[in-house]
Chain A
Amino acid sequence: MGRRVSIGGVGYLLSTLPLFILNGLFYAATLFLIASGLTIIFSVAGILNLAHGAIFMLGAYLATLTMLTGDIRLIIITFIIVPFIIGLIGLGIERGLIKWVYDRESEYQLLLTYGLSLVLADLVRMMFGPQPISASFLLRESGVIDILGVTYPVYNLIVIVVALFVGLLLWLFLDRTRLGWIVRACSFDREMSSALGVNVGLIYAFTFFLGSALGGLAGALIVPSTVAMLGMDVNALIESFIVIVIGGLGSIRGAFIGSIIVGLVRSFGIYFFPRYELAFIYIIMAVVLLIRPRGLFGREYRRV
């Protein structure tokens, strides 16, 4: 398959290299937000929210509502409102449904979130129809810029910056604020935290809010650049899971590195081996699983 790149093609390759990298980073940016949300919920509340992908998709579809209007101010506010709404939905799910299964075996937790993901995804289909929705107004309005020798949409760069910024905020929150410490403490030892007087239920609810909001933000961010379509939920879920496998559970840093790896691999795969690009990510995941099960930065997965 490498035959594609001829001698003269190497020059082509080098000149478009920045394009692959930028696209990879753009993809990594949204993936990072989704994966961080998933891993925070998972490591704090102990629930792998299978509906997280659907939450992301819902955020994307909701964002299309304003993005299609072409009203710039409305669109900018969308990036605040949509994550907030999605966060509330996540919170609602946690308080309404998830909290009943905390004590149950993980199969029931998985089944519940699995059922939820199907319901949410079909609700999206009911509300928005089966056709993909394109709302690239913002992408066009932002124009392009010459960077690293290629012409690239400004919007994508903004998304990358936003993701970095949010990542920084997230890290500061978890590392420097009191609430953040409490959240981290809960992720390490639930019983201990509760014994220390922390209202664990409230922390779980907050975590679901935060994680879902991150997913919603990712959805809103991705809309102008690509379409909102059915099936993006499963995609997002699996890819963010792969990010967590590579980067390690419960680690924002891991989600960061993991999403960069997945984003770049995907980008290169699409350009050079479009039929097999999927395989690369799976191969990397399989390799990581075999060699370093807890990922690059994950905590030791308890055996006994």
Chain B
Amino acid sequence: MILRVEDLAKYFGEVRAVDHITFGIDSGTITSIVGPNGAGKTTLINLISGALKPDSGDIYYNNINIKGMPPYKISKLGIGRSFQIPHIYLNLTTLDNVLVSLYSIKGLTRSMVRDSYSFKDELSRAEAILNMFGLLEKKDMYVYELPHGDRKLLDIAMAFALNPKLVLLDEPTSGVSSREKRRVMKIVDDAIREQGVTALIVEHDMDIVFSYSDKIIVMHQGKIIAEGVPDEIKGDKTVESVLLGGET
């Protein structure tokens, strides 16, 4: 198990955003987390990636307890993450955006005198990653010029540049037109398979969820109400009402 979460909880005052949940993820799988708004999905991602400290419980990544570690340390361990609203470097070029991740993971960030483009290995790796995400032609464009779909892909690409073993993707297809959604998810899926990473994806589009997931976790009001392969979840009536209704 590459990731194991045990009795994890996070409260915001009275609200139990994540209410003592436990689950595990096998290496090499794609797991989707679904649920209505406010179910605690993003909070869960925040907890695993180190953005928030849990109030109780543990998070095991490759048997290392990463609870409470700061985000930069968790990233260095091999967990990458993307965001619902893409976090990218607007005033840098697309290529630079990915290069920064590579410098970080290769320990080059202290290099102060060599030109950043003189690192040939990293340069070609960056271009390969951009190619994987369909952004190679735009490598010299400034990111503020990129459309939303490309920005989401770039956000994810920057996470993949870390050579992670586990990626946490928060709504990778949100904000993108329905036609674009399929293209984006296909690129992401290809990247996952090519790099052999494990993925934990928060997603709302159930078509995508059923098409790509090896396992689905359904959350509601901070708890896991269902967990299983797509076929199991499809037929589950409680899940259906929760996802359609939103409130119980």
Interface size (B, Cβ < 8 Å)?
Answer: 4
Closest to A303 in B: B51
- B52 contact set on A, CB distance < 8 A: 304
List residues 231-259 of chain A with CB under 8 A from any CB of chain B. Answer: none
Chain A residue nearest in CB terms to B49: A304
Chain B residues with Cβ below 8 Å from A303 are 51
Q: Which residue of B lies closest to A304 (CB)?
A: B51
B27 interface hit (Cβ, 8 Å): no
Interface 0/1 of B58-78, CB less than 8 Å to A: 000000000000010000000
Near B by CB (< 8 A), chain A positions 248-304 give: 303-304
The main secondary structure of chain A at its interface with chain B is: loop
Asked if B46 CB lies within 8 Å of chain A CBs, one says yes
Complex formed: what's the CA distance from A303 to B70 in Å? Answer: 11
Min CB–CB distance A274 → chain B (angstroms): 43
Q: Mark B9-51, 1 if CB is under 8 A from A, else 0.
A: 0000000000000000000000000000000000000100001
Closest beta carbon of chain B to A291's beta carbon, Å: 18
How far, in Å, is A292 (CB) from chain B's closest CB?
16
Q: What's the minimum C-beta distance from B142 to chain A, rounded to whole angstroms?
A: 17
Alpha-carbon distance between A176 and B47 when the two chains are bound, in angstroms: 37
Q: Mark B108-136, 1 if CB is under 8 A from A, else 0.
A: 00000000000000000000000000000
Residues of A within 8 A of B71 (CB): 304
**In the bound complex, what is the Cα–Cα distance between A304 and B71 (angstroms)?**
10
Chain B, range 145-165, C-beta contacts under 8 Å to A: none
Interchain CA distance A286-B51 in the complex, whole Å: 26
A304 to B42, CA, bound (A): 13
In the bound complex, what is the Cα–Cα distance between A304 and B87 (angstroms)?
Answer: 12
Residues of A within 8 A of B51 (CB): 303-304
A304 surroundings in chain B (CB, below 8 A): 46, 51-52, 71
CB distance from B12 to the nearest CB of A (A): 10
Closest CB of chain B to A192's CB: distance in Å?
Answer: 14
Assembly CA distance A304 to B51 (angstroms): 6
What's the nearest-Cβ distance from chain A to residue B67, in Å?
Answer: 16
Closest chain A CB from B72 CB (angstroms): 12
A239 to B52, CA, bound (A): 33
Q: Compute how far the CA of A303 lies from the CA of B49 in the bound complex, rounded to whole angstroms.
A: 13
Q: How far is the CA of A303 from the CA of B46 in the complex (A)?
A: 12
Instruction: Give, as a whole number of angstroms, the nearest-CB distance from B7 to chain A.
Output: 23
Instruction: Using CB atoms, name the residue of chain A closest to B83.
Output: A304
- Proximity bits, A71-91, B CB within 8 Å = 1, else 0: 000000000000000000000
Closest to B87 in A: A304
Smallest CB gap from B50: residue in A: A304
A299 to chain B, nearest CB (A): 11
B51 nearest in chain A by CB position: A304
What's the nearest-Cβ distance from chain B to residue A286, in Å?
23
The CA-CA distance from A303 to B68 in the complex, in Å, is 13
Give A300 Cβ to nearest chain B Cβ, in Å.
10
Nearest opposing residue in chain A for B52, CB measure: A304
Instruction: Report B175 CB to chain A, min CB distance, Å.
Output: 18
Q: What's the minimum C-beta distance from B49 to chain A, rounded to whole angstroms?
A: 9
Bound state CA distance, A303 and B50, in angstroms?
11
A304 to B72 CA separation, bound complex (whole angstroms): 12
Question: Shortest beta-carbon distance, B205 to chain A, in Å?
Answer: 25
Question: Shortest CB–CB separation between residue B74 and chain A, in angstroms?
Answer: 12
Q: How far is the CB of A289 from chain B (nearest CB, A)?
A: 19
Nearest chain A CB to B143 CB, angstrom units: 17
Shortest Cβ gap from B183 to chain A (Å): 29
The smallest beta-carbon distance between A63 and chain B, in angstroms, is: 44
Q: Could you mark each residue 198-226 of chain B with 1 if its beta carbon is under 8 Å from any beta carbon of chain A, else 0?
A: 00000000000000000000000000000
**A242 to B189 alpha-carbon distance, docked (Å):** 52
> 5 shortest A-B CB distances, which residue pairs?
A304-B51, A304-B46, A303-B51, A304-B52, A304-B71
5 A-B interface contacts by CB (under 8 A) = A303-B51, A304-B46, A304-B51, A304-B52, A304-B71
